[in-house]
Chains A and B, each alone.
Chain A
């Protein structure tokens, strides 16, 4: 039983990693006032770019860089539409998602001729699991040993990076000048403008940070969690990250827990495949898989109180004419 729990928690960490990265990405963007429904597209784009580059150059790190570049480019397109041209954030986001979904498969077919996939990645083309020091020695220590060796140790570097980004984001958002301005620009851009700070520049920087984090999330999917790119492999993770963002009320630590909860439900879903409830029959996998969404709706509907986002989110900033 204890072993099962550890295994499930272990799976939770793996599944939560891209969610956490993407949700933090969304946090930077939305805190600065840019609604980002294109998290999904950026993850997918980066997953493809990372897998493709990794396959070509034989290095997961090179893949990661390409993944980030692809994602940042998409983020800049979103920024150009929403910030510079004051477009509708949702429309731009949906457009990016649609384009990326089609483009990845098309380019994949053209370059690799594998039905839209990239070649299977092996060895250094993937991020490999890291065994933390003393993992073997600790193995037999009761309780803690299990946690250390099987839960904390044995993940790839991107998993650790994702969790490390949570306190970093907290620090950036609440303890730095950039964070203060970022939060201000999402609440009242005019106040920022009259304080002599460029609203545009702050928002662009936020969008770029968002792109970088989504890039890591995408690279994780194709070069760490899996071994190659599959069509539509982001599978709604960007949307789930958005749900976690709202669930966690746009604050880094609660957002991480929301992601872990969603990840846990996912791990449960895998476990529950074929599970038979006496008298009711087999639990449909879809029922479990829909739990994160159902949960978000239910909790937002009344259990966690109002989730009030940044006040100026989604609103383009136009200097007032007297």
Chain B
């Protein structure tokens, strides 16, 4: 089967693919040497996933061809890709959750109309594969009971069981804990040792540098560079991805904090099960400063944002804001808080920030839709909303600048700009902003960061919640660290470094190291 005259496991020649007006892939060429780990890196929307979908037969290319082991293959559907020895681990696992591992693995490769024999053979084969590639797993477990890392292993086993010699992994570490990710890379190394060729799609530079032999960079549907991983570095790759020099820090002057605009005293919140999610949090937010809330995801940051913005009521404690005292007995809801000039960019723009089925101009008034500006006696002023949206799109460089496009069809960064523009343009006194750059391209991140800083410079008070340490350190003037629902540390941004923050986030920062008793 293997043609030894070519050193390449897979070669793409001039692959192009167009979706309507969007050229998703343009004249893509790629050569992947056998038995290597090859990284493909690019921003969201650079065309990586489309390219992989073409290789795996989900889409047909408009032009160009694919060679596997030096022979041209015609891949029109997944079945033909599998036949050509290509396996794929999708970003969102393609598993039937209430099936066992075994059932998932044999689906589509059952080996006969009756399952008995197929299941028996698969069990033997899986035990062998598991041993060979150190992919330990209980094949009789139901998939939904497995942790994500193991579910991914099932996907890998599925591909290997079908005889894959080329394995494509699409953003494999997005859902994994660091430990699970480490384990995944160990598995990939052992696959490589067994002669499997691995294609790793990611936008994480660190992973590319740590694990690949070669790397190809995609930008706006084109393959812009091929490098040997050993011959390149983070800066070069980042630059190739974005197409211009990336500033990894934000230019900002010193903060000049003014009056306290919002203060919280011993705020606690219990969830529906009676678990205390927020524990006696006190904080002061002053005008002209950015207060960063650092912490590992799920340590009360979301609850804090929800309580401050009025989405959930607090159980204990009180908040002073705009001359009002808010507590459990006299709560204010999110819309009342908005009226008091507090704006909120929620952490999850899809769930809370936008209605993805709305056109952009509609999404751009959410939360302020009752404003007199947008409303007549009976009907809403459509033209006012559309025109305003157009202006904002121009001001915030939202692409494409089309107020009638459904918000779902904008890229993550542009969706986020729509949300941030909506909140900021209301000229609030206090801005709560959660994960401002989650799922946002590097280029747009820079833009969003600049906007946040310039807002601070006009004297607004900004509370920034982010799980990205880089972001917290780059933007904040003051940093609070949360752990298990409580604030466990506060420090000036100038004194912050990754080590100290990391220790605080793990609640492992001792008083001695802190140099003062807390």
| Residues in chain A within 8 A of chain B (CB atoms) | 175-181, 183-184, 187-188, 190-197, 311, 319, 321-322
The distance from the CB of B50 to the nearest CB of chain A, in whole angstroms, is 5
**Given A183-B96, A188-B97, A191-B94: A176 in contact with B113 (beta carbons within 8 A):** yes
- Tell me if B19 is interfacial: C-beta within 8 Å of chain A: yes
**Given A177-B113, A319-B58: A194 in contact with B106 (beta carbons within 8 A):** no
Task: Tell me the bound Cα distance from A22 to B50 in angstroms.
Answer: 43
Most chain B beta carbons < 10 A, residue from A180, A181, A183, A190: A180
The distance from the CB of A263 to the nearest CB of chain B, in whole angstroms, is 30
Residue-wise interface mask of B (43-74) relative to A, using a CB-CB cutoff of 8 A (1 in contact, 0 not):
00000011001001011000000000000000
**Given A196-B79, A321-B19: A188 in contact with B96 (beta carbons within 8 A):** yes
Task: Tell me the bound Cα distance from A181 to B112 in angstroms.
Answer: 12
A188 engages B95 (CB within 8 Å): yes
**Given A176-B115, A177-B112, A180-B106: A191 in contact with B49 (beta carbons within 8 A):** no
B107 engages A181 (CB within 8 Å): yes
A178 engages B116 (CB within 8 Å): no
B94 engages A190 (CB within 8 Å): yes
B24 engages A187 (CB within 8 Å): no
- With a cutoff of 8 Å between Cβ atoms, the chain B residues found around residue A188 in the complex are 94-97
Closest 8 CB pairs of A and B: A195-B108, A196-B79, A322-B49, A191-B94, A177-B110, A196-B78, A194-B94, A322-B50
Closest to B83 in A: A196
- Tell me if B426 is interfacial: C-beta within 8 Å of chain A: no
**Given A183-B96, A321-B19: A195 in contact with B107 (beta carbons within 8 A):** yes
- Tell me if B153 is interfacial: C-beta within 8 Å of chain A: no
- Tell me if B82 is interfacial: C-beta within 8 Å of chain A: yes
The distance from the CB of A200 to the nearest CB of chain B, in whole angstroms, is 12
- With a cutoff of 8 Å between Cβ atoms, the chain A residues found around residue B78 in the complex are 193-196
The distance from the CB of A120 to the nearest CB of chain B, in whole angstroms, is 44
Task: Tell me the bound Cα distance from A193 to B96 in angstroms.
Answer: 12
Could you list 26 examples of A-B contacts with CB < 8 Å? A175-B114, A176-B113, A177-B112, A180-B110, A181-B107, A183-B96, A187-B97, A187-B99, A188-B94, A191-B96, A191-B107, A192-B108, A194-B56, A194-B78, A194-B90, A195-B82, A195-B107, A195-B109, A195-B158, A196-B77, A196-B108, A197-B79, A311-B97, A319-B58, A321-B19, A322-B24
**Given A183-B99, A184-B107: A195 in contact with B94 (beta carbons within 8 A):** yes
A178 engages B113 (CB within 8 Å): yes
Q: B264-284: which residues lie under 8 A (CB-CB) from chain A?
A: none
- With a cutoff of 8 Å between Cβ atoms, the chain B residues found around residue A184 in the complex are 96, 99, 107
- With a cutoff of 8 Å between Cβ atoms, the chain B residues found around residue A190 in the complex are 94
- With a cutoff of 8 Å between Cβ atoms, the chain A residues found around residue B59 in the complex are 322
The distance from the CB of A109 to the nearest CB of chain B, in whole angstroms, is 46
Task: Tell me the bound Cα distance from A181 to B118 in angstroms.
Answer: 14
Task: Tell me the bound Cα distance from A178 to B114 in angstroms.
Answer: 8
- With a cutoff of 8 Å between Cβ atoms, the chain A residues found around residue B88 in the complex are 194
- With a cutoff of 8 Å between Cβ atoms, the chain B residues found around residue A175 in the complex are 114-116
- With a cutoff of 8 Å between Cβ atoms, the chain A residues found around residue B24 in the complex are 322
10 further interface pairs, Cβ-Cβ under 8 Å (given A188-B97, A196-B79, A196-B108): A175-B114, A176-B113, A177-B114, A178-B113, A184-B107, A191-B94, A194-B58, A195-B107, A196-B80, A322-B50
| Residues in chain B within 8 A of chain A (CB atoms) | 19, 24, 49-50, 53, 56, 58-59, 77-82, 88, 90, 94-99, 103-104, 106-110, 112-116, 118, 158
Task: Tell me the bound Cα distance from A146 to B148 in angstroms.
Answer: 58
- With a cutoff of 8 Å between Cβ atoms, the chain B residues found around residue A177 in the complex are 110, 112-115, 118
**Given A187-B99, A322-B50, A322-B53: A192 in contact with B116 (beta carbons within 8 A):** no
Task: Tell me the bound Cα distance from A183 to B115 in angstroms.
Answer: 14
Closest to A177 in B: B110
Most chain A beta carbons < 10 A, residue from B96, B103, B108, B118: B96
- With a cutoff of 8 Å between Cβ atoms, the chain A residues found around residue B49 in the complex are 322
Task: Tell me the bound Cα distance from A188 to B90 in angstroms.
Answer: 14
Task: Tell me the bound Cα distance from A187 to B96 in angstroms.
Answer: 6
Task: Tell me the bound Cα distance from A187 to B103 in angstroms.
Answer: 13
- With a cutoff of 8 Å between Cβ atoms, the chain B residues found around residue A176 in the complex are 113-115
- With a cutoff of 8 Å between Cβ atoms, the chain A residues found around residue B107 in the complex are 180-181, 184, 191-192, 195, 197
- With a cutoff of 8 Å between Cβ atoms, the chain A residues found around residue B112 in the complex are 177
Closest to A312 in B: B96
The distance from the CB of A1 to the nearest CB of chain B, in whole angstroms, is 45
- With a cutoff of 8 Å between Cβ atoms, the chain A residues found around residue B99 in the complex are 183-184, 187
Of the candidates B82, B96, B116, B118, the one whose C-beta lies within 8 Å of that of A196 is B82
The distance from the CB of A176 to the nearest CB of chain B, in whole angstroms, is 6
Closest to B17 in A: A322
The distance from the CB of B220 to the nearest CB of chain A, in whole angstroms, is 15
The distance from the CB of A295 to the nearest CB of chain B, in whole angstroms, is 27
- With a cutoff of 8 Å between Cβ atoms, the chain A residues found around residue B108 in the complex are 181, 192, 195-197
The distance from the CB of B57 to the nearest CB of chain A, in whole angstroms, is 8
The distance from the CB of B114 to the nearest CB of chain A, in whole angstroms, is 6
Task: Tell me the bound Cα distance from A195 to B82 in angstroms.
Answer: 8
Task: Tell me the bound Cα distance from A179 to B88 in angstroms.
Answer: 24
Most chain B beta carbons < 10 A, residue from A178, A197, A311, A322: A322
Closest to A187 in B: B96
The distance from the CB of A201 to the nearest CB of chain B, in whole angstroms, is 12
A180 engages B95 (CB within 8 Å): no
Task: Tell me the bound Cα distance from A192 to B82 in angstroms.
Answer: 13
The distance from the CB of B21 to the nearest CB of chain A, in whole angstroms, is 14
Task: Tell me the bound Cα distance from A72 to B50 in angstroms.
Answer: 39
- With a cutoff of 8 Å between Cβ atoms, the chain A residues found around residue B114 in the complex are 175-177
- With a cutoff of 8 Å between Cβ atoms, the chain B residues found around residue A187 in the complex are 96-99
The distance from the CB of B180 to the nearest CB of chain A, in whole angstroms, is 21
Closest to A319 in B: B58
A180 engages B115 (CB within 8 Å): yes
- With a cutoff of 8 Å between Cβ atoms, the chain B residues found around residue A322 in the complex are 24, 49-50, 53, 58-59
- With a cutoff of 8 Å between Cβ atoms, the chain A residues found around residue B97 in the complex are 187-188, 311
